[in-house]
């Protein structure tokens, strides 16, 4: 019987979706050696928001985290999520930076790089895919799933064919909002399987309650790998549960190569982590429930919690329904971008501004750049109103935006001088300058302490 493989997401997407990526390394350090024995296809543990969160909130070196995970999990493939030309940030980087980032990710321990572009603009994947393949990593070409008049099965299939020709070793369907219904999934997986020869991975979220059914129908249609999360951190805005799907698929006669005893150990380990997050309020029970709003509004879990946080901070939570209704309008005006980072933030912020201050009275800088073509090609047509407001009589960029950017790695490296202790530091700085500086300062301070302490210890004998 066909073998179905599992990617465990607890260290990246599950914790990103449920607790805003605030899980420090110490909270999972002691389970890594066990996870290494579970039989996962891969452990998704890096990229996405983990890099940002390490620097911003956890005072951790993201590269160091990766090396430690690598060391503890020598037998399991480590996977990261990369936003194509955006890397892990929110803007486009020049090609030399993208290449260096991919090179260093692989060197520090990444085996599989899932690469996507928020607009499914293939030009924004090219460089990252090319470098990943060159470095011997597995490049997984990703399709951001969304629904709109321009997102047809035919267009999706064509896109995956181009990705295969580009050299990716698998195709991932990324349903970040959990809006892909079982039949949609069946049709899409089937169309892709009929188009490409490489394995198909399905990634979805439980947000709307569709995920288990969607995964089952995907497998019926030929999907090879699924993304799941250990059960205590599954469901809601996270992935469906690893154990539940292992059980189900075995019952249906599929070959599942996971060790149930290990899966239980992993889950038992994370239960107190969840309890602590609930206690501190980091984990809001709301995000663990089913919310069918996304079926109408197409709001991914992370975006919904951001909107709630934004409106709460401005004491305007009563406007949530209006903002949710404004989101599809903004999205249509922007030519139907899939709601994934950074588009989800962009659309969310703009929809909020429209509701609070009047439609397009304040256009965010990011939406301006988007309309100018700085993020890539919009999947559909940008509305004339929005174009007129942003561009006036100018034309948007038609080429790949990163081609207009000057190489930045070597110049930043020499600019930083001794401040950066490695190429990895330079990349952290390029991705998040202020956060990296703050992190370098804290690290220097810590080293001074350790140094003083050891001198003292030597003197005191
Ligand atoms: Co996701």
Can you list the alpha helix ranges (DSSP code H) found in 73-145?
95-107, 126-134
**Å from CA of 417 to ligand 1 middle:** 37
pLDDT tens-digit series, residues 302-358 = 788 788 888 999 999 999 999 989 998 999 999 999 988 788 999 999 999 999 999
pLDDT tens-digit series, residues 369-409 = 999 999 999 999 999 999 999 999 998 898 999 999 999 99
Structure tokens at 445: 């301070």
Report which of 341, 19, 339, 12 is spatially closest to residue 178, judged by C-alpha positions: 339
**Å from CA of 403 to ligand 1 middle:** 29
**Å from CA of 302 to ligand 1 middle:** 9
Q: Chain-wide mean pLDDT for the chain?
A: 94
Task: Check pLDDT > 90 for residue 51.
Answer: yes
Q: What is the pLDDT of residue 456?
A: 65
- With residue 34 as reference, give the H or E element that holds it: helix 32-35
Largest CA distance in the chain: 76
**Å from CA of 16 to ligand 1 middle:** 8
Q: Report the DSSP beta bridge partners of residue 8.
A: 43, 228
**Å from CA of 204 to ligand 1 middle:** 6
**Å from CA of 452 to ligand 1 middle:** 45
**Å from CA of 28 to ligand 1 middle:** 20
Q: In 74-168, at which residue ranges do the beta strands (DSSP E only) sit?
A: 78-82, 112-115, 138-144
Instruction: Please tell me the pTM assigned to this model.
Output: 0.92
Q: What is the pLDDT of residue 309?
A: 85
* Omega within 30 of 0 (cis) for the link into 342: yes
Q: What is the pLDDT of residue 453?
A: 65
Q: How confident is the model at residue 165 (pLDDT cuts 50, 70, 90)?
A: very high
Q: What is the pLDDT of residue 297?
A: 66
**C-beta separation of 323 from 330 below 8 A:** no
Q: How confident is the model at residue 450 (pLDDT cuts 50, 70, 90)?
A: confident
Residue with tokens 């599809």: 328
Task: Check pLDDT > 90 for residue 104.
Answer: yes
Backbone phi and psi for residue 395, each to the nearest 5 degrees, phi listed first: -100, 150
Q: How confident is the model at residue 461 (pLDDT cuts 50, 70, 90)?
A: low
- Say how many CA atoms lie within 13 Å of 117 toward its Cβ: 24
Task: Check pLDDT > 80 for residue 460.
Answer: no
**Å from CA of 352 to ligand 1 middle:** 23
Ligand 1 is a single-atom ion; what residues have CB below 5 A from it?
13, 176
Task: Check pLDDT > 90 for residue 89.
Answer: no
Those residues with Cβ within 8 angstroms of residue 415's Cβ, 6 or more apart along the chain or in another chain: none
**Å from CA of 85 to ligand 1 middle:** 18
**Å from CA of 145 to ligand 1 middle:** 11
**Å from CA of 288 to ligand 1 middle:** 15
Q: What is the pLDDT of residue 390?
A: 96
**Å from CA of 12 to ligand 1 middle:** 9
**C-beta separation of 261 from 239 below 8 A:** no
Rounded mean pLDDT of 235-250? 97
**Å from CA of 177 to ligand 1 middle:** 8
**Å from CA of 46 to ligand 1 middle:** 13
**Å from CA of 205 to ligand 1 middle:** 6
Cα-based angle 93, 83, 70 (whole degrees, multiple of 5): 105
Task: Check pLDDT > 90 for residue 134.
Answer: yes
Q: How confident is the model at residue 214 (pLDDT cuts 50, 70, 90)?
A: very high
Q: Tell whether the torsion through CA atoms of 357, 305, 63 and 406 is positive or negative.
A: negative
Query: Cα 226 from chain centroid?
Result: 16
Q: Report the DSSP beta bridge partners of residue 203.
A: 174
Q: Tell whether the torsion through CA atoms of 51, 52, 54 and 60 is positive or negative.
A: positive
Rounded mean pLDDT of 60-83? 98
Q: Report the DSSP beta bridge partners of residue 5.
A: 225
């Amino acid at each position: 019987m066909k073998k179905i493989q599992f990617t465990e997401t607890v260290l990246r997407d599950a914790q990103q979706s449920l607790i805003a990526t605030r899980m420090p390394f110490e909270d999972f350090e002691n389970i890594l050696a066990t996870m290494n024995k579970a039989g996962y296809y891969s452990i998704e543990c890096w990229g996405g928001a983990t890099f940002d969160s390490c620097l911003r909130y956890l005072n951790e070196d993201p590269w160091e985290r990766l090396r430690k995970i690598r060391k503890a999990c020598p037998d399991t493939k480590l996977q990261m999520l990369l936003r194509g030309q955006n890397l892990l940030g929110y803007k486009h980087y020049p090609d030399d930076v993208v290449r260096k980032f991919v090179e260093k990710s692989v060197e520090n321990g990444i085996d599989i790089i899932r690469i996507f572009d928020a607009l499914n603009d293939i030009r924004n994947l090219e460089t990252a895919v090319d470098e990943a393949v060159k470095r011997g990593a597995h490049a997984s070409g990703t399709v951001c799933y969304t629904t709109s008049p321009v997102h047809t099965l035919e267009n999706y299939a064509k896109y995956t064919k181009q990705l295969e020709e580009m050299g990716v070793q698998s195709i991932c369907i990324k349903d970040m909002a959990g809006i892909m219904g079982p039949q949609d999934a069946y049709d899409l997986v089937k169309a892709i399987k009929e188009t490409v020869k490489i394995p198909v991975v399905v990634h979805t979220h439980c947000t709307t309650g569709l995920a288990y059914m969607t995964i089952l129908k995907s497998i019926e249609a030929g999907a090879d790998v699924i993304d799941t999360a250990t059960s205590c951190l599954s469901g809601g805005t996270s992935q469906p549960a690893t154990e539940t799907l292992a059980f189900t698929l075995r019952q249906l006669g599929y070959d599942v190569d996971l060790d149930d005893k290990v899966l239980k150990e992993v889950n038992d380990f994370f239960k107190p982590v969840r309890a602590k997050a609930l206690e501190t309020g980091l984990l809001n029970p709301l995000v663990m429930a089913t919310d069918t709003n996304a079926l109408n509004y197409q709001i991914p879990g992370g975006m919904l919690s951001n909107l709630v946080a934004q409106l709460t901070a401005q004491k305007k939570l009563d406007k949530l329904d209006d903002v949710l209704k404004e989101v599809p309008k903004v999205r249509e005006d922007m030519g139907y971008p899939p709601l994934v980072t950074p588009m989800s933030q962009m659309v969310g912020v703009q929809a909020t501004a429209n509701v609070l201050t009047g439609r397009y009275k304040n256009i965010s800088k990011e939406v301006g750049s988007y309309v100018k073509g700085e993020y890539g090609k919009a999947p559909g047509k940008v509305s004339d109103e929005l174009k007129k407001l942003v561009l006036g009589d100018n034309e948007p960029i038609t080429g790949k935006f990163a081609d207009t950017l000057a190489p930045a790695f070597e110049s930043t490296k020499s600019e930083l001088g001794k401040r950066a202790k490695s190429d990895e530091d330079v990349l952290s700085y390029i991705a998040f300058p202020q956060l990296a500086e703050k992190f370098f300062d804290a690290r220097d301070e810590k080293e001074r302490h350790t140094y003083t302490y050891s001198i003292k210890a030597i003197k005191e004998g």
